[in-house]
Structure 1
Amino acid sequence: MLRGWQCLRNFERLIVKDKDQAGHIGVRIGGAVNIFAVVLVLAVPARGQSDPPPFKDFTFKRVTPPKPGQARRITIQIDPEEQAAAVAPPPATPRDDAFEDDWFWKDISPALDASGPGRLQQALKLLTAAPMGIRPPAPSLEVLRAIADAHGADILRRSVGTRVSPALVLAVIGVESSGRAAAVSTKGATGLMQLMPDTAARFAVRDATDPVQNIAGGVAYLDWLLGEFGGDPLLALAAYNAGEGALRSHDGVPPYSETRAYVPKVLAAWQVARLLCATPPELISDGCVFSIGGKG
């Protein structure tokens, strides 16, 4: 606006040479200047209403004329990373995925002192009542039937005399490997029941990719965990995923997103697996004879 005012005054001095004419023309120009000033004031918005953010400091670079035969070229100084940061949306509030499955653990206590075999039915009722968007996905009946067809006899044979229902073994295999004997996780867990190397060695499994040995080691570990945690299937499953040491150090199910999601996943798979038994088991320790007649 100041520059506009100065331009008009300069214009007045240039076109008015006669003092008598200055008074007459000055009145008209002065009026025009006043009107122009009012328009400028009204046209300038209040600071902060619609102004873009100020430009950051930058340095000028003197550019020499191009040499004969060279095309004219302008170098624009732009930092791509700086520009991306300037237009990038603000980061969202970080999400704590460690408790993304606490919908289950809000009603089921993760504490060690809450252990007991009777909590299975409470957990299954909670899963059944959960909305579809919250209820964890379970392996299909067809997938579990195929696993039972391939390994049902070994599952039945290894679970006899233990606290582990064959339906639970089938559910664990469905969640852990989907029946792939050669499956290896990024952490090194191997085989149908995804045994870690230390666990495999602990239960005399020499080749974790061998289905017979893997099932034997997995069933033995589950049976030991059920005895260690008072027959509580929820704590036993959490320890199968995270290790019994993690439960002891946290006085219950640790706040690991994988572990807290794992327990309801296996229970959801259990609800499907038990349907393949001639007499569907009610407890984790109940026996089961697969009605589809596994090999062996």
Structure 2
Amino acid sequence: MLLPGLPVPVIQASSDFAQLPLDQVMVLAEKGEPRAQVALGVALEHGEGITRAPDMARRWYCRAAARGLVEAWYNLGWLYVNGRGVPRDDGIARYWLEKAARAGLEQAANILPMLEEGQDGSTGCEDVVTLPRIRQACSSPECRDILHLVETLAPEYRLDANLVAAVIEAESGFRPRARSSRGARGLMQLLPATARRFGVKDIWDPEDNLRGGMAYLRWLLAWFRGDLEKVLAAYNAGEQRVIRYRGVPPFAETRGYVRRILDGYGRDAHPYDPAWLEQAIP
């Protein structure tokens, strides 16, 4: 149910795209055009020419929001204010509406006094790969399928899909058959011993490889208490080296690897659960 007195969602910037045939809008959205992404999100939110799917609308709004489109910020806030296909969450709504209000959108500023105070840092977009560099580089249908699989699996492991995608980009460049000189294999470049440790049955199967890599990532997050610099260094060089050097080992490859991912991901910490330490095979 909509809160009383709220303005309708703002979609003016995408109005030209809303006039295009939906299949053209989809193609442009997949190519990364943020206004087309908002137009597709609006169609999915309201069931205009397509089956209504508010959660898919959220995903397209998230992608456009990452490109800085104010309308996407507002529409995400609108979804979470009203619980339209997503759990109602004033904290997430406030996060996006404050961004829109700071950008000068009066409608967003008018809603903010109606919301409860407080935010927990969630954006509601953690299950969506929004890093523009990765989405632009991942232009082939095969690569987009991998991103979709990441977005499907990451919530199961309580991982930010952007972090997983950034690790895959650095490890294999999204090549499922990649193999290193040290014997690491697949999308997340698992060594056979690591694959066994986290229950991987077929190291070359993309989903099995992703599951093993995500399980290892979350184990490292628990071990190093969410410190991404140490987590990524351990993923690259092994946790024992990080423990021995009390931080990132003095290896040029590892330091470059850590910096490249952190710069792209834009954060240096990630939520974790100590219980994840119990989920590796002894």
TM-score w.r.t. length of structure 1: 0.43
Greater relative contact order (Cα 8 A, min sep 6): structure 1 or 2? 1
Which structure is larger by alpha-carbon Rg, 1 or 2? 1
